[in-house]
Amino acid sequence: SGTLTVSELADKLNKDSSEIIKNLLFLGVMATKNQDLDDDAIELICSEYDVEVEKEIILEDTDFDKYIEEDDPKDLKERPAVVTIMGHVDHGKTTLLDAIRQSKVTAGEAGGITQHIGAYQIEVNDKKITFLDTPGHEAFTSMRSRGAEVTDLAILVVAADDGVMPQTVEALNHAKAAEVPIIVAVNKMDKDTANPDRVMQELTEYEIIPEDWGGDTIFVPISALTNQGIDELLEMILLVAEMQELKANPNTHAFGTVIEAELDRGRGAVATLLVQNGTLHVGDSIVVGNTFGRVRAMLNDVGKRVKEAGPSTPVEITGLNEVPQAGDQFLVFADEKKARQIGEARHQQAILETRSEHTKVSLDDLFEHI
Ligand code: GTP
Ligand code: MG
């Protein structure tokens, strides 16, 4: 990390080195002109001159992009699709998520299924599909706004008895903006008042046109209550996913996004992570958002302990110093010291960013105008 010498600091503050040395002495620090100063000393001197130090200039580079190596195309392997279910209030998102999960629960897993980790994975025709169990699209959008596109495919649930409603439009606009393909699940087909033609008609206004009508959007009539059409829906998901040729490199440091996180009384900070690239292991040194730690234990979506998690796999981990936020990104570092450095720097930066919301001055700005 780049510290400053006495004379460099003097330059920045537009003072004489001798004056800085005198002040340091006054503060109980003996220093010569070319001596490196630690952060505390720099801060002390700056506060003498009423200059607030933005620590980031003397900190590690905190951007994950700096540490992610581009994957060699030959290392890329097929990975499961990550699916989000969206739609208007009460149109059946939660019921559908439950129906899909129930339809694929094996007897052995039944006990663990009450475990809720914010995402789950099922297997259809030997292929896995990951569902983000975050009904509504807040999670979808907050993750997107942080630049991490976690969703590969959106299921737009529209109740056949209610038709297109404001949040249906909102949802489809989000998916379109993210360039995420949409499959329309026309739900509640078991109802007498179901009118799927009306749903199709209404969606054409938003350029979502069924294949039957010459468009390219797949519509699947379903009932999340009676399980009608669920298998067809899953097959369509696999079909669309296959066309996307989703790939990741399982043999690299894990990178991904926080699905949800909370403080557990017994276990401390608990976070559900979606691995997007690489493989996450127990014992990995990890930076998550503005915190860091070592993966102590990992549970899969049915509450079983696992030692590793590959691309598109959701896992719940413990071992972080603090609770991160949904939508935060994470990255594993080969070396624990590096993870600590980057984690601490990001933490520091977050504090400064919050603080500078009211006192918006950076050290560079300040020094330029002294
Ligand atoms: P919010 O989370 O509040 O946005 O609602 P949601 O989209 O998750 O809807 P939810 O799954 O909670 O379903 C709302 C109501 O519709 C519940 O009473 C469900 O039982 C009912 N429902 C869901 N799917 C079907 C269906 O296929 N047929 C019928 N008849 N009712 C359904
Ligand atoms: Mg719901």
What is the C-alpha separation between 172 and 155, in angstroms, rounded?
9
- Strand 329-333 vs strand 308-309: parallel, antiparallel, or unpaired? unpaired
157: pLDDT strictly greater than 50:
yes
Length of the chain: 370
| Ligand 1: lining residues by beta carbon, under 6 Å | 87, 89-95, 135-136, 187-188, 190-191, 223-225
List % helix, strand, coil for the chain (3-state, nearest 5): 35, 25, 35
Residue among 86, 88, 94, 134 to mutate when testing ligand 1 (max atoms within 8 A of CB): 94
Q: How confident is the model at residue 122 (pLDDT cuts 50, 70, 90)?
A: very high
- The pLDDT, as a whole number, for residue 115 is 55
Higher pLDDT, 248 or 55: 248
- The pLDDT, as a whole number, for residue 58 is 45
Q: Which ligand is nearest to the CA of 98?
A: 1
Return the residue whose CA atom lies nearest to atom 24 of ligand 1. 92
Residue among 93, 94, 95 to mutate when testing ligand 1 (max atoms within 8 A of CB): 95
- The pLDDT, as a whole number, for residue 2 is 53
- The pLDDT, as a whole number, for residue 1 is 43
Q: What is the mean pLDDT of residues 211-225?
A: 96
DSSP letter at 38 equals P
What is the C-alpha separation between 239 and 100, in angstroms, rounded?
17
ipTM: 0.99
What is the C-alpha separation between 215 and 208, in angstroms, rounded?
7
Name which of 182, 310, 152 is nearest 245 in CA terms: 152
Q: Is 272 annotated for ligand binding?
A: no
Return the residue whose CA atom lies nearest to atom 13 of ligand 1. 92
Q: How far out from the chain centre does Cα 259 lie?
A: 6
- The pLDDT, as a whole number, for residue 141 is 57
Q: What is the mean pLDDT of residues 57-82?
A: 85
Lowest mean pLDDT among 29-38, 102-111, 255-264: 102-111
What is the C-alpha separation between 260 and 328, in angstroms, rounded?
9
Beta-carbon-side half-sphere exposure of residue 158 (alpha carbons within 13 Å): 32
Q: What is the mean pLDDT of residues 84-100?
A: 92
Specify the ligand 1 atom closest to the Cα of 97: 11
Question: First-to-last CA distance in the chain?
Answer: 25
Is residue 226 within 8 A of residue 254, CB to CB? The reply is no
φ and ψ at residue 19, rounded to 5 degrees: -65, -40
What is the C-alpha separation between 26 and 207, in angstroms, rounded?
72
- Indicate the average pLDDT of the chain: 86
Q: Determine the distance separating the centroid of ligand 1 and the alpha carbon of 261, expressed in angstroms.
A: 26
Q: What is the mean pLDDT of residues 320-338?
A: 93
Reduce the DSSP state of residue 325 to 3 states and report it: coil
114: pLDDT strictly greater than 80:
no
What is the C-alpha separation between 348 and 290, in angstroms, rounded?
8
275: pLDDT strictly greater than 90:
yes
Structure tokens of 230? Answer: 């669920």
Q: What is the mean pLDDT of residues 323-331?
A: 92
This prediction's pTM: 0.80
Share of the chain above pLDDT 70, in %: 85
